[in-house]
Amino acid sequence: MTLPLAVGVMLPRDIGPDEVLPFARRADALGFDELWVVEDLGFRGGIAQAAAVLATTSRLRVGIGVLPSAVRNAAFAAMEIATLAQLFPGRIDVGIGHGMPDWMQSVGARTPRPLRLLEEQLEAVSALLRGQAVDTSASGDHVRLEAAQLDASAVPTTPPPLLAGVRGPRSLALSGRVADGTVLAEPCTPEYVREAITRIAAVRPHRVVTYNVAHVHDDEAAALAQVRPALEWIGEPDWAPHLRPLPFGEEFAALRSQCASRAEFARRMPDEWVARLALAGTPTQVRTRLDELAAAGATSAVLIPSGPDPLGSLDSLARVL
């Protein structure tokens, strides 16, 4: 890369339990800078995964992307995060977000004011990690703490960065005000990253972590074919902010409206769109795309393995390093 950019890889949420630790160790050995775990409803817990990965590796920085604010008590979240930061100093990043609305609805945690909840959560957890006493009993709409504070023995020497996992314009602006960085879900094109950074308008140094489905192969067509099925979700309404800055945004929406299913939409997407919406191609092509993300302002690029063999894909992805 011509500009500073950390290159990471995502631990697939549905990887077999016997592959979780080998995947992490292989990513560490191959030289990836970061490994990110997810906390999606019905899969594995983010903090438990992060702890296991940190314990089995020696160098990787591990990110949690992201913990839903609606289901994590701020004080107990701070305790868990502080523990990781003490045991593995300088190696943990934590994303906190709204959580997918349907998931929050299904567990009885959906709130009519998700922005306010996320702001209160980020501010409270951040203060607790710095060893401060937090009392929001009179001011908090969602986070209600009465003189909550970590014991001095549990306060990390260096609090880990808290990043907001968000995508809407008001949420991005909130991230710029109160978070140490932003986690941008896939697909992250340079156009989307630039627009997001404009909306973030950070008031202090701010990390920008980008996710993208990825596959590296000497045959570009084979790489595009591999990532295509993983893009079927991005035609849904929640992904509109990612597509609005693109020159083919209107054509994209029109094609989705013509398709009866996500799978049909993924099959009919032109290769040119697939190439723009994923990090797929030859090592040289993918390195060029990573340079473009760095030039747009991204500080981390997280590659999401595609295909049926995530562990086996690590070696091909590592060809971009």
d(CA 119, CA 97): 10
Length of the chain: 321
Query: By C-alpha distance, which of 302, 69, 62, 48 is closest to 185?
Result: 302
CB 208 within 8 A of CB 196: yes
Q: Phi and psi (nearest 5°) for 230?
A: -75, -10
Query: By C-alpha distance, which of 152, 206, 161 is closest to 66?
Result: 161
Cα–Cα distance list, 223 to 26, 242, 291 (Å): 22, 22, 19
pLDDT (0 to 100) of residue 141: 85
pLDDT (0 to 100) of residue 1: 37
pLDDT (0 to 100) of residue 131: 98
Please tell me the pTM assigned to this model: 0.96
Q: The tokens of 79 are what?
A: 């305790």
d(CA 37, CA 39): 7
Q: The tokens of 301 are what?
A: 């690029």
pLDDT digit of tens for each residue in the chain (321 aa)? 344 899 999 999 999 999 999 999 999 999 999 999 999 999 999 999 999 999 999 999 999 999 999 999 999 999 999 999 999 999 999 999 999 999 999 999 999 999 999 999 999 999 999 999 999 987 878 899 999 999 999 999 999 999 999 999 999 999 999 999 999 999 999 999 999 999 999 989 999 999 999 999 999 999 999 999 999 999 998 899 999 999 999 999 999 999 999 999 999 999 999 999 999 999 999 999 999 999 999 999 999 999 889 999 999 999 999
pLDDT (0 to 100) of residue 137: 86
d(CA 177, CA 202): 6
